[in-house]
Structure 1
Amino acid sequence: MPTLHEKKIQETSVPVGYFVENLPITPSKRKRGQTFQTNPHRMAQATAYMSAKFESNSEGKDFKLCWKDKGGLTVGAEFVRFKEGVTKAQAIESTIVNWDKCERARVEKYNTELIIALARMRIVRFAREGTALPPYIPQELRVNNRTIKCNLISDEFEEHYNIIKAVHGGLKGRKIGRPNHMII
């Protein structure tokens, strides 16, 4: 039977930024006495990847964005700048489109492989049983809700937009932002 492969960084992330300085060393390297960054993927000017994580089973079907290095380690936003000509909106859109395309392909591949595997097992069973009895498909060789539903960020994005819009309206009504505070 097929297995659903783990997502790779290219499937969840897009290279839309760069690091403005060498990233801090990881705690495990610090324990070994290393005091400076030697990983080329975590040095100044290395490519930074905007990454999406989608939790389709959570309330509100949450998606989160974060920055990662080429090795897939999470990086703080204070170390990242967008590449020349890339806006935050373009980066987020590119990340969501990439995530959705890759997720659709991953789920489609799994579902196709599942159906083919079950069909092959049916054929083998039919060849073994022969034609003496009418063909019968046992429960374990039926699809029976074993396919995976494709949950995409773009399918739920309007809900996220409406939530952010509602929060914006609430904050605007409180009058606590820039025009309403005094600096002494």
Structure 2
Amino acid sequence: MDLEQKIRGSRKPSNIVIGVLLLLGGTGFVLASTSSYLGRDLLPLSHPSTLLFIPQGLIMGLYGAAALLLGIYLWALISIDFGSGLNKFDKNTGLITITRRGIFRNISIDIPIKDVTAVKLEVKEGLNPRRKISLRIKGRKDLPISRAGSPQPLIELEKEGAELAKFLEVNLEG
């Protein structure tokens, strides 16, 4: 008998939209900077060739390069689906296997089920809300197992935590 939870990584619609906007905006700024340097309009809808290269064109080029680099980095994370993984709770083998996809290698942690003392829910509201599920393990720090990103609704968090605590036959804290 086992329980599996799929964890969503960086391949989210919001990241894809931000990646597209960064690449488009960065390209526009670099083209505007190049237009001001060459004195020819490379953008069809505006006239950036009228800008002075120093300081306006130069600063636009730096902003464009920064946006392009950030966009490329974000698309690299999206392409490998950084942070995605699986939480597998297997009563037959007595192991909990937690895997996550990293940048250069995948991370995998195996923990004996008997070492889990409780399932802990942490809810923090305010400007930077945090809602996460952790496993309380004997002799170790709490191990977060919930997905990263935008906080999930409280009812879903409680339901998921209660289901996990019932499956592992431990207490639910928090």
Same fold per TM (> 0.5)? Answer: no
Higher RCO by CA contacts (8 Å cutoff, separation 6 or greater): 1
Return the structure number with greater strand share.
Answer: 2
Q: Using structure 1 for the length normalisation, give the TM-score.
A: 0.30
Q: Using structure 2 for the length normalisation, give the TM-score.
A: 0.31
